[in-house]
Amino acid sequence: METRVAVLAVIVREDAAVTALNDLLHQYGSYIIGRMGIPYRQRGVNIISVALDAPQDVISALSGKLGRLPGITAKTVYAPETL
């Protein structure tokens, strides 16, 4: 199955959503290359970037599930397909 490289940008505005967010990331852990989280205390948010190498439908599914969590915003950027 062909995979894509992508970065998922996640903004966390609600601390109550963190457990569900971590559960989803754990479920998709086999596709995760790495992740970095930055707390931005002055604005009361956390910024997380997740690097993925996965089939496009898997990346879309994860992004959609994360985006449906209350207090979470998620957007995906794909690398060119010619990698």
Q: What is the pLDDT of residues 13-36, one digit of tens each?
A: 999 999 999 999 999 999 999 999
Give the per-residue pLDDT at 81: 80
Q: What is the pLDDT of residue 83?
A: 61
Residue at 23 is within a domain: yes
Give ∠ CA 12-39-23 in degrees, rounded to 5.
Answer: 45
- 49 within a domain of the structure (yes/no): yes
Per-residue pLDDT at 3 exceeds 70: yes
Say what the pLDDT of residue 51 is.
98
pTM above 0.85, yes or no: yes
Could you tell me the residue range of the domain that residue 32 belongs to?
A: 4-78
For residue 68 the two structure tokens come to: 């449906």
Give the DSSP H or E segment for 53.
strand 45-54
Please indicate, yes or no, if residue 83 is contained in any of the structural domains.
no
- Nearest in space to 75 (alpha carbons), one of 25, 8, 22: 8
Closest CA to 51 of 12, 9, 6, 10: 6
The total number of structural domains in the chain stands at: 1
54: domain CATH number is: 3.30.70.1150
- pLDDT (0 to 100) of residue 82: 67
- For tokens 């930055």, the residue is 38
